[in-house]
Amino acid sequence: MTSEILHAKLKENFGFEKFRPNQETIINTILSGQDTLAIMPTGGGKSICFQLPALVLPGITIVISPLIALMKDQVDSLKTNGIHACYINSSQSSEEQQFYIDNLKSNKFKLVYIAPESLSYLDVVFNELTISLIAIDEAHCISSWGHDFRPAYTNLGYLKSRFPSTPVLALTATADKATRTDITKQLKLKNPKTFVASFDRKNLSLEVRPALDRVKQIIDFVEKKPNESGIIYCLSRKTTEELAEKLQKTGIKAKAYHAGLDNKLRAKTQDEFINDDCQVVCATIAFGMGIDKSNVRWVIHYNLPKNIEGYYQEIGRAGRDGLPAETVLFESYADVIQLQKFASEGLNSDVQLAKLERMKQYADALSCRRKILLSYFGELVKENCGNCDICKKPPTFFDGTILAQKALSAITRLEQSEPLAVIVDFLRGSRNAYIYEKNYQSLKTYGIGIDTSWYDWNQYLIQLINLGYLEIAFHQHNKILLTPFAKKVLFEGEKVKLTTVVKKVIDKTEIKETKTKAAKSSLFEILRKLRYEIAKDEEVPAYVIFSDAALRQMETLRPMSDEEFLAIDGVGKAKLEKYGQEFIDAIVYYEKVKQEKAKSKPKKEGNTYKTTLALFKDGNSIEEIAGQRNLGQTTIVSHLAKLYVDGEDLDLSQFVSDAEVKQLHKAQVELEYPTALKPYYDHFEEKLSYDKIRFGLAFLERHKNDDEKLKIKAYSVDEKRLENPEAYKKWSPEEDSDLVHNFYQGKKVKEIALLLGRNEGAINSRLKKLELKK
């Protein structure tokens, strides 16, 4: 069949102008009657490969799929495109099933979806049907090697014997060779042509963050995306519930999902998520297999996944519509320890440990993450991706030899008998009970690293572990051991390169601005609401009507006639007829209102930061700029601070003095680099204004790598006590590390409370705050 005809069919029935990679060749192979094995990643456009041939071929296409929950959505999706399709599975009554079978006999449907277990229903009528194509989705379920093994799949080989001249298309997103051979053999495929599509999902951004203050980081993240659906994967059922509850408390529509909840509740949560009624699902890995929601805009891993296969499958649930989607993975030292324990105690422990190690290497990577992922799946890429955190902000290395020497000698002095937290305490000269109990304060090198913060020491030690100078003895209370390489640094002058520890500082005004922006009635939001209403009426998920990508295109192209509307990707003949008018009306109305507004109001121009900058450079004060722009003074301050961080030439000395910057720098170390302004405000007992704090932090942020001039000697604990006795009513870093240490030692809350002279409630809530306890 000519390429023009195929393209015309693609546009008319599915609304797309172009095929995705491999689709057209796969379709041509099928149409030539050859068996085909297609390996495509989730979201790579598998279904078009059999749906389009189904329309061209004379008879019926049978689609075998294990995902009963998905069948309805897939069939609904075809129906909105005007294609006659049905499904037969155990969720229907026998009358319903009979109805569809009868209609199949009279050639009313082009496609029928069926679960392998239900194939026997069709068996009796096979002779009366013209079967043109057999598509077997999720074909890896045939392999007992795979994780989704379905016994009924192993019987599917009889289809080829029974219909020797009908082409069979096997589809899967699992690439490994053993499974591929299994599929070909068991399905009795005849010299199948094999296609392996690239596993690269360029639209997914990749990011790994340290797990410190995870919940807060997540809340900030979600608040920036008020209308965007996302999934948060957690390791335990309990975490899913607790996290969902914490998010709900801040007003986020979040729900928990795990295999332990009752079926009805689970199905309800899933439906609400699919229909955009619930924004966030906090789930164990049980979630996602049975859904095909194309507008999941982000995926967060609250815990480190066990292996890269799982991780890639889970992040793959974001951005199936091809629009940009974000993924964030939180890496925590505690997770690694726990997973290592699980892996070493479970079946097949060598393999599981090796897989976990690869996962950890990915999380600790200092080079393009996508390259690492793709190479794991056997794909080699030359170029860096430009869409991972490492590409966007390459790590800066510095000579960390002295830091490494300090750490390694401290570990030597401690006779390699302590876990990470104690080493950090020792390096920082903490005066906690454990240190005194062991008389560590009398050892040489005690307090040698006092001028580096607790957080930074943690990160540096983890880097030293990753670089191979240290190792964790997982079965001996996680104590840290020196490896033979450590000697080279201590005695042979080997240099150590470490990377600068970066912490994300989140700007609250930015969140507010995004919030108001999204809440404002942008055309996208209006179209999204319209889509939601129609979806409710038709009882189908919203993305079945139009994808987010299609709505975005409508927003950009503003189609106002049938012809223009048909040019949108995803709009075929049927969708134009069904929904075109309503969407065109909405766009026309929006344009009209906009023009009227423009007439009555002088136009705001350019980027808001630029406007502030121009006014400031003209000599206006913050107050004057705020007045002229009708914005809050805080907003103007945050604009100027951001401009300064981004490299604009501004004189900050008029807003914050040298001495104040020095105080802030000291506070930053003591407070372990908090992500918000409030802790500083409290720290200075409300004596330093928020504006000064904001400007001071902007200064420190821009100069963080050349801080020699600013370098401030850390004060000893006692001096700090004298200086600011009030501050010690709060939790000090020393007390925190004491707490962490005792907790890791396995002491009970009651004991810790006695040791620290606080009540149990305070201990519990602090443990929760530090995310050590749920």
What is the nearest approach in angstroms of Zn ion to the Cβ of residue 368? 3
CB of 549 to Zn ion, least distance (A): 23
Which of these ranges, 107-115, 226-234, 367-375, 753-761, lies near Zn ion under the rule CB under 5 A? 367-375
Nearer residue to Zn ion within complex by CB, 31 or 381:
381
Choose, by CB under 5 A, the member of 385, 421, 480, 656 that binds Zn ion.
385
* Cβ-based nearer residue to Zn ion, 379 or 648: 379
Smaller CB separation from Zn ion, 358 or 758: 358
Q: How far is the CB of 391 from Zn ion (least distance, A)?
A: 3
Eight-state DSSP code of residue 388: B
Name the residue nearer to Zn ion (CB basis): 197 or 208: 208
Of 358-366, 389-397, 614-622, 658-666, the window that binds Zn ion (rule: CB under 5 A) is 389-397
Q: Nearer Cβ to Zn ion, position 27 or 388?
A: 388
Count of CA atoms in the C-beta half-sphere (13 A) of 577: 9
Nearest approach in angstroms of CB 58 to Zn ion is 47
Please say which residue, 370 or 528, places its beta carbon nearer to Zn ion: 370
Q: Are 533 and 586 in contact (CB under 8 A)?
A: no
Window contacting Zn ion (CB under 5 A); options: 386-394, 446-454, 528-536, 707-715: 386-394
Size of the site for Zn ion (CB under 5 A): 6
**What does the alpha-carbon distance between residue 41 and residue 50 come to, in Å, rounded to a whole number?**
16
Terminal CA-to-CA distance of the chain, rounded, Å? Answer: 61
Q: Decide: 114 and 123 in contact? Cβ < 8 Å.
A: no
Q: Binding of Zn ion at residue 171 (CB under 5 A)? A: no
* x-marked contacts with Zn ion along 312-351 as a string, rule CB under 5 A: ----------------------------------------
Least distance to Zn ion from the beta carbon of 677, Å? 32
- Shortest reach from residue 382's CB to Zn ion, in Å: 12
Closest CA to 26 of 13, 14, 12, 37: 37
Nearer to Zn ion, 70 or 374 (CB): 374
Provide, rounded to whole angstroms, the least separation between the CB of residue 591 and Zn ion. Answer: 39
Give 370 or 503: the residue with its C-beta nearer to Zn ion.
Answer: 370
525 vs 297: CA distance, rounded Å: 15
Instruction: List the 229-233 sheet strands across, edge first.
Output: 204-210, 325-331, 296-301, 229-233, 280-283, 254-257
Helix, coil or strand: residue 283: strand
With contacts defined by CB under 5 A, name the span among 50-58, 133-141, 231-239, 388-396 that binds Zn ion. 388-396
Q: How far is the CB of 369 from Zn ion (least distance, A)?
A: 5
CB 665 within 8 A of CB 712: yes
Can you tell me which of 27, 325, 368, 511 binds Zn ion, judged by CB under 5 A? 368
Residue 21 CB, nearest approach to Zn ion (Å):
20
Q: How far is the CB of 344 from Zn ion (least distance, A)?
A: 32
For Zn ion, which residue of 261, 391, 523, 584 counts as binding (CB under 5 A)? 391
Cβ 625 to Zn ion shortest distance, Å: 38
CB contact at 8 A, 58 and 132: yes
3-state secondary structure of 386: coil
Cα separation of 111 and 638, whole Å? 57
Which range, of 76-84, 338-346, 384-392, 670-678, touches Zn ion by CB under 5 A? 384-392
Residues 696-725, interacting with Zn ion (CB under 5 A): none
Q: How far is the CB of 392 from Zn ion (least distance, A)?
A: 8
Question: Between residues 158 and 397, which has the closer beta carbon with respect to Zn ion?
Answer: 397
Exactly one of 71, 356, 388, 465 binds Zn ion (CB under 5 A); that residue is 388
Q: Whose Cβ is closer to Zn ion: residue 202's or residue 617's?
A: 202
What does DSSP assign to residue 127? G
Question: Which amino acid, residue 626?
Answer: A
Of 46 and 370, the one with the shorter C-beta distance to Zn ion is 370
**CB 311, min distance to Zn ion, A:** 16
**CB 243 to Zn ion: min, Å:** 28
Interacting span for Zn ion (CB under 5 A) from 159-167, 289-297, 382-390, 685-693: 382-390
* Contacts for 204 with CB less than 8 Å, ≥ 6 apart: 315, 316, 318, 319, 325, 326, 327, 387
Residue 105 CA to residue 124 CA, distance in Å, equals 11
Between residues 291 and 391, which has the closer beta carbon with respect to Zn ion?
391
Strand partners for 482: 470
Select from 381-389, 471-479, 496-504, 654-662 the region that touches Zn ion (CB under 5 A).
Answer: 381-389
Indicate the residue among 311 and 457 with the shorter CB distance to Zn ion. Answer: 311
Cα distances from 98 to residues 62, 71, 104, 152, 323, in angstroms, run 16, 17, 10, 22, 41
Question: Distance (Å, rounded) from C-alpha 669 to C-alpha 680?
Answer: 11
From 166-174, 369-377, 401-409, 645-653, span contacting Zn ion (CB under 5 A): 369-377
Stretch that binds Zn ion, among 364-372, 426-434, 471-479, 697-705 (CB under 5 A): 364-372
- Buried/exposed 330-360: b ≥16 CB within 10 Å, e otherwise: bbbbebbeebbeebeeeeeeeebbebbeebb
Which of 120, 130, 110, 111 is closest to 90 using CA atoms?
120
Residue 498 Cα distances to 334, 397, 529, 704, 709, angstroms: 22, 5, 50, 16, 21
Q: Order the strands of the 111-114 sheet from edge to edge.
A: 85-88, 111-114, 60-64, 131-136, 168-172, 36-39, 193-196
d(C-alpha 214, C-alpha 218), whole Å: 6
Measure the CA–CA gap between 120 and 116, rounded to whole angstroms.
8
| Closest among 555, 519, 521 to 226, alpha carbons compared | 519
CB of 372 to Zn ion, least distance (A): 9
The angle formed by the CA atoms of residues 297, 302 and 306, to the nearest 5 degrees, is 105
Which one of 3-11, 94-102, 259-267, 383-391 is the stretch in contact with Zn ion (CB under 5 A)? 383-391
Binding stretches for Zn ion (CB under 5 A): 368, 370, 384-385, 388, 391
